[in-house]
Amino acid sequence: PRLIAPLTAIPQANTKKQAVADSMLKNSAGEYHLEGEVKIQQPGLVIRSNKIIINQQQQTIQAKGNIEIHSKDMVVTGEKANINRQNNTAEIINPKYQLSNSKAHGQSSQIQLDKADMLSTLKEASFTTCKLTKIQWQARPDIIKSNQQYDWILDFNVLTIDDAKQRIYGKNTVLTFKKVPILYSPYISFSTAKRATGLLFPSFGSYKSITQPTAETYLSVP
């Protein structure tokens, strides 16, 4: 299957924290500025970027340009990232993401990662298990960039990925099939375990059609 970023080995629990870059400078505030082919690794995590600023005192990392964040459960790419190593959280701007176990993928305007709780919260997000292409926001025709199409795609106002439970939860969800929005649900929940690529069309509980004036409560992909 296609990947949003090259495969990267995830460091084991006994791996030492390490930073590698083409150039590295330390300023008077004690910040390390790394540029070029930058790579930071620590147990369970690899970060790649063109530019990274490390503040050891505050335990923060700021990354800009061609960002890749690799963990056991997910790969995320983006334009900008702020990472807090004290509380194991991160925020990524304009990211794309791919789940490692199923290769399901999507993108959003923002991702907030919480490593301790194994939660990822995405705003204005999309999700599909169809073969990866360069399509963006298929349900929004004004920014489609390809004549290709996914068989189906889900768009959410808010999407939460729970790695511990291997489940996805979405709010205000639109299901698009062959570029046509066909269903709306205020809430959706489904498993990410053992998903295959290709067409995996949801089965439905109660739902609301795009043309219906009132909403039901639940759409499920078992």
Residue 146 predicted with pLDDT over 80: no
With cut-offs at 50, 70 and 90, classify the pLDDT of residue 134: low
CB atoms within 10 A of CB 157: 14
Percent of the chain past pLDDT 90, that is, above it, reads 28
Rg of the chain in Å (alpha carbons): 19
**Do the domain assignments include residue 64?**
no
Q: Is 129 left (phi over 0), alpha (psi -120 to 50) or beta?
A: alpha
| pLDDT at res. 3 | 86
Local structure of residue 56 (DSSP, 8 states): T
Cβ distance 132 to 155 under 8 Å? no
| pLDDT at res. 168 | 86
Residue 147 predicted with pLDDT over 70: no
* Average pLDDT for 172-186: 89
| pLDDT at res. 138 | 44
Please tell me the distance from the alpha carbon of residue 205 to that of residue 219, in angstroms, as a whole number. Answer: 5
- Token look-up 């997910």 returns 74
Model confidence over 107-124: pLDDT tens digits? 999 999 888 888 889 999
φ and ψ at residue 141, rounded to 5 degrees: -60, -25
Model confidence over 152-174: pLDDT tens digits? 898 999 999 888 888 889 999 99
**Do the domain assignments include residue 173?**
yes
Report which of 121, 85, 127, 125 is spatially closest to residue 104, judged by C-alpha positions: 127
Model confidence over 47-80: pLDDT tens digits? 999 999 988 888 888 999 999 999 888 899 999 9
Owning domain of residue 117: 71-221
| pLDDT at res. 1 | 53
Strands 219-221 and 180-191, bridge-based pairing: parallel
Percent of the chain past pLDDT 70, that is, above it, reads 79
Residues 37 and 109 in one domain: no
Residue 102 predicted with pLDDT over 60: yes
With cut-offs at 50, 70 and 90, classify the pLDDT of residue 43: confident
**Do the domain assignments include residue 118?**
yes
Q: How many domains does the chain have?
A: 2
Please tell me the distance from the alpha carbon of residue 71 to that of residue 61, in angstroms, as a whole number. Answer: 16
**CB neighbour list of residue 180: distance below 8 Å, 6 or more residues apart:** none
Report which of 145, 138, 110, 103 is spatially closest to residue 124, judged by C-alpha positions: 110
| pLDDT at res. 52 | 92
**Do the domain assignments include residue 61?**
no
Residues 79 and 124 in one domain: yes
Residues 208 and 182 in one domain: yes
Report which of 56, 53, 68, 62 is spatially closest to residue 17, judged by C-alpha positions: 56
Q: Which tokens hold the place of 173? A: 């969800």
What CATH number is associated with residue 192? 2.60.450.10
Residues 25 and 83 in one domain: no
Residues 207 and 112 in one domain: yes
